[in-house]
Amino acid sequence: MKQLTLFFLTILMTTSCNSNSEESSNENKLASISEAVYGKLADGRETSIFTLKNAKGMEVTITNYGGKIITWTAPDRDGNYENVNLGMTKLEDYFDGASFFGTLVGRFGNRIGNAKFSLDGEEFQLVANNGVNNLHSGGFGVDKNLWDAEIVDSENPTLKLTTVSPDGAGGFPGNLSATVTYTLMPDDALKIDYKATTDKPTVVNMTNHSYFNLGGFERDVLGHEVTIHADTYLPVDKGLIPFGMPESVAGTPFDFTTSHVIGDRINDTTDTQISRGGGYDHAWVFTDKSDEMKLGASVYEPTTGRVMEVYTTEPAVQFYTGNFLTGNLTGHKGVNYKKRWGFCLETEHYPDAPNKPDYPSTTLRPGETYETTTMYKFSAK
């Protein structure tokens, strides 16, 4: 009798293992990456759009024009996946005012004061496109490049993009060879790996500039609840350039060490920094100073239950609340992207670092490799 029982248990276990193996195999088959024509640039070059899907239902579309994320779905508490990434409906819409939506930013993301910096005793004059300052490489960044694209893996959807920012582009020295790899993970996380090398000393600070609205564009983002694991931030001058070392967030509207609703303090114009940024447009310096992957920030949208966690190897994050959106851009669902209709969490080194020797260095030299990773993970509660 014992032998007969053991026989049936063995059959049951084998069947269960086979079933689990088949389920795992089926899940892998559901994950995919595909390519289609997206449109043409003004010079006639054809662009592509890549659709990355995982087995759970997340879908991310990315074009090789600037590495821009066009759509990005995430689950609500009922398991419904909906786009949460502000973007435009066609390629041409990205050529002007919407150029930074969802894009890769480099070679230097954020601002450089007075549009110039010195390196090894030589001064480099950049393009001033934000008052007297340089913002996101002054219109000569990799967000304007048509990147070479390679599908690396379809079962674990991976897209590898490569480009060269030529010596002198926007005033920056050195031919910068950049590689960015997007990997859609099985657990609804998108991992972004950045690498770059140069043939001359230069400065590098790459990031992703996606605007998020976890409510699916039904309302602005003021009701989102944000946590940033940073006990200091960088105050800025009237041109939004940091003017000193990081200062404590304690007792200020910049304290997100515990969860706060974005709208609670964003209009506190008695705070000089809020007034200068028109809300939040500052860099927070993570309490964890290591270059290991760590949880830097999280966002919760109570209406849908969506949660976004941001993990990164970077030392800081620029939290921007769409203060300069005016409603003149119409994107997905025919929505006019009005003021504060989206927020950004741009992982990065400090703004104006090339002019601040006390900040973590953004200098890259020949023979060195710039490497950084950021991951955006979605869930619901």
Check if 260 is active-site.
no
Indicate left, alpha or beta for 5 from its phi (over 0: left) and psi (-120 to 50: alpha): alpha
Task: Name which of 261, 252, 195 is nearest 227 in CA terms.
Answer: 261
> Beta strands of 231-293 (E only): which ranges?
232-233, 247-248, 260-261, 281-285
What are 131's two structure tokens?
A: 């008052």
For residue 50, which amino acid is it?
Answer: F
- Tell me: cis bond preceding 276? Omega within 30 of 0 counts: no
Q: What's the longest Cα–Cα distance across the chain? A: 88
What are 71's two structure tokens?
A: 């759509």
Which of 209, 224, 260, 332 is flagged as catalytic? 209
**Beta pairing class for 59-63 and 46-53:** antiparallel
| Rounded-to-integer distance, Cα 262 and Cα 335, Å | 21
Phi first, then psi: what are they for 198, rounded to 5°? -145, 160
DSSP per position, 58-98: -EEEEESBTT-EEEEEEE-TTS-EEE-B---SSGGGGTTTT
Which of 282, 346, 348, 349 is flagged as catalytic? 346
Neighbours of 29 (CB within 10 A): 11
| Rounded-to-integer distance, Cα 320 and Cα 231, Å | 17
| Rounded-to-integer distance, Cα 175 and Cα 297, Å | 33
**3-class DSSP state of 378:** strand
Phi first, then psi: what are they for 65, rounded to 5°? -85, 100
Check if 150 is active-site.
no
| Rounded-to-integer distance, Cα 273 and Cα 38, Å | 41
Q: Where are the alpha helices (DSSP H) in the chain?
A: 2-30, 272-277
Q: Provide the annotated active-site residues.
A: 209, 346
